[in-house]
Structure 1
Amino acid sequence: MTDSTSRPNAMDASDWLLLLVLSLLWGASFFFGKIAVAQWPPLAVVLARVGLASVTLLLVVRLSGLSMRVGRPMWLGFFGMGLLNNLIPFGLIFWGQTQIGSGLASILNATTPLFGVVVAHLFGGEKASGTKIAGVAAGLAGVAILMGPDAIGGVGGALLPQIACLGAALSYGFAALYGRRFRALPPLVTATGQVTATTLMSIPLVLVFAPPWSLPVPNSQTVLALLGLAFLSTALAYAIFFRIMRRAGGTNVTLVTFLIPVSAILLGTLFLGEALLPRHVFGMAAIGIGLALIDGRALRRRRAIA
């Protein structure tokens, strides 16, 4: 999650390249997740993802000369952030992906900025402008189009998994508000702290609900998917994310939200045989309009030209 108060700077070609790479890494997380949950339960996949990533990030912190000795209050905050930013959304998304495609899950996850506006308006003291409210309305219309007949037909079919992915987006919205308390810390320390805290919270849950001795031995595809989730879509993605944020500002890095579904849909369609329905395209278009209204930069540029 990014600090919305960061001052945006102009992005050069290298920044745009990094942003594209980041969208591929985070888009691939839905692809890797879909493969992993086919053999392992969602909680076990969550633990593998954050556990391996936390070891990697702790090593990066050590090599960077930073320290995780930030005091008990901050570590308690890491547990709150890990719950909202990792454990809840990862668990919901992976569970949702047991029943819906990775492309659809990524599109629903793209509603995160919409929920961020609502959460900040209701709980963060940031009153939404008329344009942002219009953006939320457009985004919600897009969600309704995406969910289609499932939302009318009652609880069943693909409705619950889609609601789970929306719940993950809502959790990310609360995480963005909660994460403001870590502004004084280096971003890499915050990322490492929350992933490590998530690992510690996940262990007892896995022991109770998905004990390792009951899990099947993962095949090669599952192993590669878990490694991809941990090292590429979590550890490496965080490193790139914070580099872009440091160079170009928090506002610019949120552009990745527009790009993630593209890579997730392409990977799901090409390698998993997932079908992309016309309503998914129309729903994503409505969500994109909503995000553009919330972002506001296109409107400001048009006014400046006028």
Structure 2
Amino acid sequence: MMSKQLKWVYLFILSLVWGSSFILIKKGLVGLTAFQLGSLRIIFAALFLLLIGFRSLSKIQKHQWKYIALTSMFGTFIPVYLFAIAETEIDSSITAILNSLTPLNTLILGAAFFGITFRKNQIWGVVIGLIGCLLLVFNGAINHPEQNYYYAVLVLIASICYATNVNLIKRYLSDLTSLSITTGNFLILLFPALAILSFTNFYEVVHIEKVQHSLWFILILGVVGTGIANVIFFKLIKISSPVFATSVTYLIPIVAIFWGLLDNEVLTFIQCVGAFIILIGVYLSAKK
């Protein structure tokens, strides 16, 4: 299949997988803490990837390991914990909508540090996206006083991390296979994730039925939503542009909102308007 067609296939698959990740995090938090969830997500993904991709590590040159380490931190380690912490206070659908600012942040960081130039319509996209974000967050805070919308800042930080990650991969690791990059990332992350998990009370509560039930959701999230999805995502970055690759976040909120509504989450009309404004801003920022 030609790369022009294949990139749309990858985009569609990732939208389904990552759009479902937010509800899996929500279900995982029923029996796990945010740090337990984040650590287990990384551990499950790492074990799976080392099983299928250990041999691919030999393709990574010595000088590339520093970029593997950087992309592991920005692309997985920091966001995994930030999303888990954020969803202890705000709905999964809201988290997914805010995550759609990633292409916009990719453009801003690309222009600031990686030599990508701005166009006029892209500047308008940045402004419009930020307006939509403010509308979504402030209206949510007013209509959902039981939720702490200050935690939305964590999602914004995570989207900036993702944006940094795709620019780094495109700039410094485009000659490596997707499996090599992903397996290298999780080899590095396995040990700190195990260390963080050991400082929680996970081993004391793992026998509890509620905890074991949550583990199944995180196993799916780790293997499919993190391990396999990252391999596909890195393939997408290699055959397209960083901004196109992160435009998967156009579709992620649609899938996440669908799951959220099934789980009795509620979006106000103003929040829907804010979400739509964000997507317009993202579209303008990604448009050539």
Q: TM-score range by the shorter chain?
A: 0.7 to 0.9
**2:90 corresponds to 1:129:** no
CA contact (8 A) 2:57 2:183 kept: no
| 1:201 to 1:79, Cα distance in 2 relative to 1, 3 A | farther
Instruction: Identify the residue that residue 87 of structure 2 maps to in structure 1.
Output: 97
Instruction: Identify the residue that residue 84 of structure 1 maps to in structure 2.
Output: 74
| 1:40 to 1:20, Cα distance in 2 relative to 1, 3 A | same
Give the match's secondary structure for 1:11: helix
Deviation at 1:111, TM superposition (A): 0.5
Instruction: Identify the residue that residue 40 of structure 2 maps to in structure 1.
Output: 48
Deviations 1:175-216 (A, max 9, x none): 2233322122212211111122222222222323x2433445
Instruction: Identify the residue that residue 294 of structure 1 maps to in structure 2.
Output: 285
Q: Take 2:111 and 2:12, find their aligned partners in 1: how far apart are those partners?
A: 30
Q: Take 2:108 and 2:237, find their aligned partners in 1: how far apart are those partners?
A: 23
Deviation at 1:242, TM superposition (A): 4.5
TM-score, length basis structure 2: 0.87
Deviations 1:118-174 (A, max 9, x none): 212222232322111111111101101110246799xx9522211111111111122
Q: Take 2:35 and 2:95, find their aligned partners in 1: how far apart are those partners?
A: 17
Instruction: Identify the residue that residue 196 of structure 2 maps to in structure 1.
Output: 205
Match for residue 107 of structure 1 among 94, 97, 104:
97
> Gapped runs of 5+ residues in structure 2?
none
**2:44 corresponds to 1:59:** no
Instruction: Identify the residue that residue 220 of structure 2 maps to in structure 1.
Output: 228
Q: Take 2:66 and 2:235, find their aligned partners in 1: how far apart are those partners?
A: 26
**Alignment root-mean-square deviation, CA:** 2.7
CA contact (8 A) 1:131 1:294 kept: yes
TM-score, length basis structure 1: 0.82
**2:23 corresponds to 1:11:** no
CA contact (8 A) 1:78 1:190 kept: yes
Amino acid at match of 1:126: I
| 1:215 to 1:127, Cα distance in 2 relative to 1, 3 A | farther
Deviation at 1:77, TM superposition (A): 2.7
**2:147 corresponds to 1:181:** no
Q: Take 1:218 and 1:249, find their aligned partners in 2: how far apart are those partners?
A: 44
> Gapped runs of 5+ residues in structure 1?
1-7, 298-306
Which structure has the highest helix share of the two? 2
Figure out how many residues of one structure are paired with residues of the other and give that number: 282
Q: Take 2:12 and 2:36, find their aligned partners in 1: how far apart are those partners?
A: 29
**2:54 corresponds to 1:31:** no
- How many percent identity over aligned positions? 25
Q: Take 1:124 and 1:244, find their aligned partners in 2: how far apart are those partners?
A: 19
Q: Take 1:244 and 1:71, find their aligned partners in 2: how far apart are those partners?
A: 22
